[in-house]
A and B are shown apart, each in its own frame.
Chain A
């Protein structure tokens, strides 16, 4: 049995192919102006790697903010539902799944079957999402991928009170004028963002094990800050940005069985 999950995110589309419930391939494409086309590309890439064609797939489930635009999909699942499913599949003891993407952050509380029981979302504000790091990296004139490693070199924390991308940019400029070092400013940026995400998670309740997924989970700087703020260990899977697509593909397995 072959199933596929597609996660149409604001920045990129991810696809995961499962064979009898096990991951056999992944694919990714930038959303750009045409998410439907990006979805086709991502699925096409994953299928090619698995040496399969679209007709071999029994069920495709879509998720993500653009899930309604997914071509060839048979069903959809909410982003929170997909996160819960993937979190518990990857780490059976997971009870809190935090997903930080390009434009949104959310936390999901789930039971031991990977069924979502509660969730909280930070939307319509860039401060708690990947967009914040991107904007701050630009202000600091540092490459996005260098931000995390740079922040780990900081010797101390120099707090900024920015909880808004727009004000954050001026705060960073102030710190530069004050001749703070770049590692310290980078750390301040991750601390401010982790503060926002962790206060959201605290409202939901921090139930171990805590799992972090989404593209921002690959940023070592953010992960270090989040661990400090939450005060618990945070588990991160090998391919955190594919968690949504994985969750959708797992849901597809159930839906095939039901038919």
Chain B
């Protein structure tokens, strides 16, 4: 039983699901084909790598069932590649639902995977990674090989997370992929909302709207508060350059600009992922697939 959504209830929070295959690359049976499946609380990501190079990936929303989501997103990354499940030499599961990835040979924490993935996307100069996920935010330090040296996380609170942003997208009726841009359309930066808790911030925002604030201004005030929260997490772990942002909110220009302003440094520029296919949202899945390759090679040697 599937209801067709009425025109007026547009789901502003819903982001686009992507799928990408580098068809110029060809895989052979002897290649080390690995996959990383990152089942997050909000988004599921799968990346397939050939000999440690990204070959295809898929990004979709996590359903209420983790094993299902893992299977669906990997199927999607495999679509149009001719690959079958038994072609994979190693599959690593990561993310919030990592223990529920049925086809995985091993589960690895998303903290290790994001650091590894950031190292792959931006190169060995990366030292601080801010991963803004659907349900938590993490500030991670790593060395030149992408190995984690320390980290801090804020969990079990929606403030500053992607989910919190979705709540605001819905409240203000602005599509989630536009909220960054829209939040920058203010002449002067308003003071941040005083409530950290998303539930209270929502009430506060409604009060501001009633007071006659524009949507843009309210969004700017909320984004400002969330950027401060993320910036503080980085300050607590210590900012070491170079600095990058991964996860869905790395695409929120409103957040990125404000964190840069707060910390007084620029992030390494986001790769033109539509061009080269390295979406910062799949950093964790890339890291997982790379760990898969290393684990497979280790097993071959012994």
**In the complex the two chains form, what is the Cα distance from A246 to B41 in whole Å?**
45
Query: Which of A16-24, A35-43, A160-168, A227-235 lies on the face that meets chain B?
Result: A160-168
Interface size on A, residues (CB 8 A): 19
Per DSSP, chain A at the interface is helix
Query: Which of B50-58, B196-204, B282-290, B291-299 lies on the face that meets chain A?
Result: B196-204
User: A90-128 CB contact bits vs B (8 Å, 1 = yes)?
Assistant: 000000000000010000000000000000000011110
**In the complex the two chains form, what is the Cα distance from A89 to B164 in whole Å?**
43
Contact of B196 with A167 in the complex, beta carbons under 8 Å = no
Interface size on B, residues (CB 8 A): 15
CB-contact partner of B157 in A131, A163, A177, under 8 A = A163
The yes or no answer to B115 lying at the interface (CB within 8 A) is no
The yes or no answer to B195 lying at the interface (CB within 8 A) is yes
Contact of B64 with A165 in the complex, beta carbons under 8 Å = no
B residues contacting A by CB (< 8 A) are 41, 64, 135, 156-158, 163-164, 167, 195-200
Report chain A residues within 8 Å CB of B199.
Answer: 126, 131, 135, 165-166
**In the complex the two chains form, what is the Cα distance from A4 to B108 in whole Å?**
61
Contact of B200 with A167 in the complex, beta carbons under 8 Å = no
**In the complex the two chains form, what is the Cα distance from A57 to B199 in whole Å?**
39
Count CB-based A-B contacts (< 8 Å): 44
Per DSSP, chain B at the interface is loop
> Closest approach, in angstroms, between the C-beta of A57 and any C-beta of chain B?
32
Contact of B158 with A167 in the complex, beta carbons under 8 Å = yes
Within 8 A of B (CB), among A150-187: 161-167, 170, 173-174, 177-178
Report chain A residues within 8 Å CB of B200.
Answer: 103, 124, 126, 131
Contact of A124 with B135 in the complex, beta carbons under 8 Å = no
Report chain A residues within 8 Å CB of B135.
Answer: 167
Contact of A167 with B156 in the complex, beta carbons under 8 Å = yes
**In the complex the two chains form, what is the Cα distance from A115 to B135 in whole Å?**
41
Most buried by B among A131, A166, A178: A166
Q: What 8 new A-B contacts, CB under 8 Å, besides A164-B157, A166-B199?
A: A126-B199, A161-B156, A165-B199, A166-B158, A166-B163, A170-B163, A173-B64, A174-B64
**In the complex the two chains form, what is the Cα distance from A165 to B157 in whole Å?**
8
> Closest approach, in angstroms, between the C-beta of B139 and any C-beta of chain A?
19
**In the complex the two chains form, what is the Cα distance from A165 to B156 in whole Å?**
10
Report chain A residues within 8 Å CB of B41.
Answer: 167
> Closest approach, in angstroms, between the C-beta of A65 and any C-beta of chain B?
12
Contact of A125 with B64 in the complex, beta carbons under 8 Å = no
Report chain A residues within 8 Å CB of B156.
Answer: 161-164, 167
> Closest approach, in angstroms, between the C-beta of A223 and any C-beta of chain B?
23
